[in-house]
Protein backbone atom coordinates (compact mmCIF):
# COMPACT_ATOMS: atom_id res chain seq x y z
CA UNK A 1 0.00 0.00 0.00
CA UNK A 2 2.73 2.40 0.84
CA UNK A 3 4.39 1.77 -2.54
CA UNK A 4 1.19 2.42 -4.49
CA UNK A 5 0.51 5.60 -2.50
CA UNK A 6 3.97 7.01 -3.09
CA UNK A 7 3.84 6.35 -6.86
CA UNK A 8 0.40 8.01 -7.09
CA UNK A 9 1.76 11.06 -5.24
CA UNK A 10 4.69 11.33 -7.64
CA UNK A 11 2.37 11.22 -10.68
CA UNK A 12 0.17 13.91 -9.14
CA UNK A 13 3.17 16.14 -8.40
CA UNK A 14 4.41 15.86 -12.00
CA UNK A 15 1.19 17.24 -13.42
CA UNK A 16 0.74 21.08 -13.89
CA UNK A 17 -2.16 22.62 -12.06
CA UNK A 18 -5.17 23.39 -14.25
CA UNK A 19 -6.78 26.83 -13.90
CA UNK A 20 -10.42 27.02 -14.86
CA UNK A 21 -11.05 29.01 -18.03
CA UNK A 22 -7.41 29.18 -19.16
CA UNK A 23 -6.39 27.52 -22.41
CA UNK A 24 -3.11 27.72 -24.30
CA UNK A 25 -2.99 30.20 -27.17
CA UNK A 26 -2.05 27.60 -29.76
CA UNK A 27 -4.70 25.22 -28.51
CA UNK A 28 -7.34 27.98 -28.56
CA UNK A 29 -6.49 28.95 -32.14
CA UNK A 30 -6.42 25.31 -33.23
CA UNK A 31 -9.72 24.51 -31.55
CA UNK A 32 -11.48 27.53 -33.11
CA UNK A 33 -10.37 26.56 -36.60
CA UNK A 34 -8.95 30.06 -37.43
CA UNK A 35 -5.25 30.99 -37.56
CA UNK A 36 -4.00 33.50 -34.99
CA UNK A 37 -3.97 37.07 -36.37
CA UNK A 38 -0.83 39.13 -35.75
CA UNK A 39 -1.19 42.33 -33.69
CA UNK A 40 -0.85 45.44 -35.91
CA UNK A 41 0.97 48.55 -34.78
CA UNK A 42 -1.14 51.75 -34.68
CA UNK A 43 -0.94 53.88 -37.84
CA UNK A 44 -0.23 57.59 -37.37
CA UNK A 45 -1.09 60.44 -39.74
CA UNK A 46 2.41 61.89 -39.67
CA UNK A 47 4.14 59.90 -42.40
CA UNK A 48 7.15 61.12 -44.39
CA UNK A 49 5.29 61.10 -47.72
CA UNK A 50 1.76 61.61 -46.38
CA UNK A 51 -0.31 64.81 -45.95
CA UNK A 52 0.83 67.60 -43.66
CA UNK A 53 -0.31 67.09 -40.07
CA UNK A 54 -3.15 69.39 -38.96
CA UNK A 55 -1.02 70.88 -36.20
CA UNK A 56 1.62 72.16 -38.65
CA UNK A 57 -1.04 73.65 -40.92
CA UNK A 58 -2.65 75.51 -38.05
CA UNK A 59 0.70 76.89 -36.95
CA UNK A 60 1.40 78.09 -40.49
CA UNK A 61 -2.00 79.78 -40.73
CA UNK A 62 -1.49 81.42 -37.35
CA UNK A 63 1.91 82.79 -38.41
CA UNK A 64 0.49 84.13 -41.68
CA UNK A 65 -2.42 85.79 -39.88
CA UNK A 66 0.01 87.44 -37.51
CA UNK A 67 1.85 88.92 -40.49
CA UNK A 68 -1.43 90.16 -41.98
CA UNK A 69 -2.43 91.71 -38.66
CA UNK A 70 0.86 93.64 -38.57
CA UNK A 71 0.64 95.02 -42.14
CA UNK A 72 -1.63 97.99 -41.24
CA UNK A 73 1.31 99.37 -39.28
CA UNK A 74 3.06 99.93 -42.63
CA UNK A 75 0.70 102.87 -43.17
CA UNK A 76 3.10 104.82 -40.97
CA UNK A 77 5.26 105.22 -44.10
CA UNK A 78 2.71 107.24 -46.15
CA UNK A 79 1.71 109.08 -42.97
CA UNK A 80 5.29 110.32 -42.53
CA UNK A 81 5.51 111.16 -46.24
CA UNK A 82 2.28 113.20 -46.11
CA UNK A 83 3.45 115.03 -43.01
CA UNK A 84 6.75 115.91 -44.63
CA UNK A 85 4.95 117.03 -47.80
CA UNK A 86 2.62 119.21 -45.72
CA UNK A 87 5.54 120.80 -43.90
CA UNK A 88 7.26 121.33 -47.25
CA UNK A 89 4.14 123.06 -48.60
CA UNK A 90 4.09 125.39 -45.60
CA UNK A 91 7.79 126.20 -46.00
CA UNK A 92 7.28 126.91 -49.71
CA UNK A 93 4.26 129.03 -48.81
CA UNK A 94 6.37 131.12 -46.44
CA UNK A 95 9.02 131.58 -49.14
CA UNK A 96 6.39 132.70 -51.65
CA UNK A 97 5.03 135.14 -49.07
CA UNK A 98 8.45 136.72 -48.56
CA UNK A 99 9.05 136.99 -52.30
CA UNK A 100 5.56 138.43 -52.85
CA UNK A 101 6.16 141.14 -50.26
CA UNK A 102 9.46 142.03 -51.91
CA UNK A 103 7.79 142.15 -55.33
CA UNK A 104 5.02 144.41 -54.07
CA UNK A 105 7.53 146.75 -52.47
CA UNK A 106 9.66 146.96 -55.61
CA UNK A 107 6.75 147.20 -58.09
CA UNK A 108 3.51 148.25 -56.38
CA UNK A 109 1.68 148.56 -59.69
CA UNK A 110 -0.12 147.05 -61.51
CA UNK A 111 -2.19 145.64 -58.68
CA UNK A 112 -3.84 142.80 -60.65
CA UNK A 113 -0.66 140.77 -60.98
CA UNK A 114 0.09 141.08 -57.28
CA UNK A 115 -3.31 139.64 -56.30
CA UNK A 116 -2.38 136.41 -58.02
CA UNK A 117 0.70 136.09 -55.80
CA UNK A 118 -1.35 136.28 -52.61
CA UNK A 119 -3.91 133.85 -54.00
CA UNK A 120 -1.04 131.45 -54.58
CA UNK A 121 -0.13 131.81 -50.90
CA UNK A 122 -3.68 130.81 -49.92
CA UNK A 123 -3.56 127.91 -52.37
CA UNK A 124 -0.31 126.54 -50.94
CA UNK A 125 -1.61 126.84 -47.39
CA UNK A 126 -4.73 124.84 -48.30
CA UNK A 127 -2.63 122.18 -50.00
CA UNK A 128 -0.42 121.82 -46.93
CA UNK A 129 -3.49 121.57 -44.68
CA UNK A 130 -5.00 118.91 -46.95
CA UNK A 131 -1.83 116.82 -46.69
CA UNK A 132 -1.82 117.11 -42.89
CA UNK A 133 -5.50 116.10 -42.69
CA UNK A 134 -4.85 113.06 -44.88
CA UNK A 135 -1.90 112.04 -42.69
CA UNK A 136 -3.96 112.33 -39.49
CA UNK A 137 -6.85 110.41 -41.03
CA UNK A 138 -4.68 107.51 -42.17
CA UNK A 139 -2.98 107.34 -38.79
CA UNK A 140 -6.29 107.17 -36.91
CA UNK A 141 -7.80 104.62 -39.29
CA UNK A 142 -4.91 102.15 -39.48
CA UNK A 143 -2.68 102.68 -36.47
CA UNK A 144 -4.17 104.34 -33.38
CA UNK A 145 -6.33 107.16 -32.10
CA UNK A 146 -4.54 110.44 -31.49
CA UNK A 147 -4.84 110.61 -27.70
CA UNK A 148 -2.48 112.19 -25.22
CA UNK A 149 -2.87 111.10 -21.63
CA UNK A 150 -6.31 109.67 -22.39
CA UNK A 151 -7.63 112.99 -23.73
CA UNK A 152 -8.47 113.87 -27.33
CA UNK A 153 -6.17 116.57 -28.66
CA UNK A 154 -7.89 116.99 -32.03
CA UNK A 155 -10.91 119.18 -32.76
CA UNK A 156 -14.19 117.39 -33.32
CA UNK A 157 -14.33 118.27 -37.03
CA UNK A 158 -10.95 116.60 -37.56
CA UNK A 159 -11.84 113.25 -35.98
CA UNK A 160 -11.82 110.41 -38.52
CA UNK A 161 -13.95 107.35 -37.68
CA UNK A 162 -14.02 105.65 -41.09
CA UNK A 163 -13.05 106.13 -44.74
CA UNK A 164 -16.15 108.23 -45.41
CA UNK A 165 -14.98 110.81 -42.87
CA UNK A 166 -11.52 110.89 -44.41
CA UNK A 167 -12.67 111.29 -48.01
CA UNK A 168 -15.24 113.95 -47.02
CA UNK A 169 -12.58 116.10 -45.38
CA UNK A 170 -10.02 115.63 -48.15
CA UNK A 171 -12.56 116.35 -50.90
CA UNK A 172 -13.74 119.46 -49.05
CA UNK A 173 -10.16 120.75 -49.05
CA UNK A 174 -9.77 119.87 -52.73
CA UNK A 175 -12.88 121.90 -53.53
CA UNK A 176 -11.40 124.89 -51.67
CA UNK A 177 -8.12 124.54 -53.54
CA UNK A 178 -9.97 124.33 -56.88
CA UNK A 179 -12.00 127.44 -56.06
CA UNK A 180 -8.93 129.47 -55.09
CA UNK A 181 -7.08 128.25 -58.19
CA UNK A 182 -9.97 129.35 -60.35
CA UNK A 183 -9.87 132.86 -58.88
CA UNK A 184 -6.13 132.93 -59.44
CA UNK A 185 -6.62 131.99 -63.10
CA UNK A 186 -9.38 134.58 -63.51
CA UNK A 187 -7.01 137.33 -62.38
CA UNK A 188 -4.49 136.40 -65.05
CA UNK A 189 -6.94 135.68 -67.91
CA UNK A 190 -8.38 138.55 -69.87
CA UNK A 191 -10.85 136.84 -72.21
CA UNK A 192 -14.35 136.15 -70.96
CA UNK A 193 -14.61 132.96 -73.04
CA UNK A 194 -11.50 131.46 -71.49
CA UNK A 195 -12.78 132.27 -68.01
CA UNK A 196 -16.08 130.58 -68.87
CA UNK A 197 -14.32 127.45 -70.11
CA UNK A 198 -12.07 127.18 -67.04
CA UNK A 199 -14.94 127.94 -64.68
CA UNK A 200 -17.17 125.36 -66.36
CA UNK A 201 -14.51 122.67 -66.07
CA UNK A 202 -13.85 123.42 -62.40
CA UNK A 203 -17.60 123.50 -61.72
CA UNK A 204 -18.01 120.03 -63.25
CA UNK A 205 -15.18 118.68 -61.09
CA UNK A 206 -16.61 120.22 -57.92
CA UNK A 207 -20.08 118.92 -58.76
CA UNK A 208 -18.79 115.41 -59.37
CA UNK A 209 -16.86 115.42 -56.08
CA UNK A 210 -19.91 116.71 -54.20
CA UNK A 211 -22.12 113.97 -55.64
CA UNK A 212 -19.50 111.38 -54.80
CA UNK A 213 -19.39 112.47 -51.16
CA UNK A 214 -23.17 112.74 -50.96
CA UNK A 215 -24.23 109.45 -52.53
CA UNK A 216 -21.03 107.46 -52.03
CA UNK A 217 -21.41 107.67 -48.27
CA UNK A 218 -25.03 106.49 -48.49
CA UNK A 219 -24.07 103.56 -50.69
CA UNK A 220 -21.45 102.34 -48.21
CA UNK A 221 -23.67 102.70 -45.18
CA UNK A 222 -22.75 106.24 -44.21
CA UNK A 223 -20.42 107.40 -41.50
CA UNK A 224 -20.45 105.83 -38.09
CA UNK A 225 -21.18 108.96 -36.06
DSSP 110-141: -HHHHHHHHHHHHHHHHHHHHHHHHHHHHHHH
pLDDT score of 153: 74
For residue 25, the Cα-to-chain-centroid distance in whole angstroms is: 69
pLDDT score of 19: 46
Peptide bond into 145 cis (omega under 30): no
pLDDT score of 159: 79
Query: CB-based contacts of 147: which residues, under 8 Å, 6+ apart?
Result: 153
Q: Is the dihedral of CA 202, 207, 210, 211 positive or negative?
A: negative
pLDDT tens, residue order, the chain (225 aa): 444 445 444 454 445 544 444 445 444 444 455 555 555 555 555 545 555 556 778 888 888 888 888 888 899 999 999 999 999 999 999 999 998 888 888 887 776 667 878 888 999 999 999 999 999 999 988 888 877 666 777 777 777 888 888 888 888 888 888 888 888 877 777 667 878 888 888 899 888 888 888 887 665 554 444
Q: Is the dihedral of CA 68, 72, 75, 77 positive or negative?
A: negative
Q: Are strands 147-148 and 151-152 parallel, antiparallel or unpaired?
A: antiparallel
Half-sphere exposure of 79 (CA within 13 A, CB side): 14
Q: Where are the domains of the chain?
A: 68-219
pTM, two decimal places = 0.63
Amino acid sequence: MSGKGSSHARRSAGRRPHVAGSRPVAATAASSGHPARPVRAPVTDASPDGPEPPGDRHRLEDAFERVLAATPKLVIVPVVILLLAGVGAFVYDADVLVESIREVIRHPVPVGNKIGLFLLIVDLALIGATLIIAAIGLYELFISRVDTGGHRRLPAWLEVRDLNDLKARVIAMIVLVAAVSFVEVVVDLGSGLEILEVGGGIALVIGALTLFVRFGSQGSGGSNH
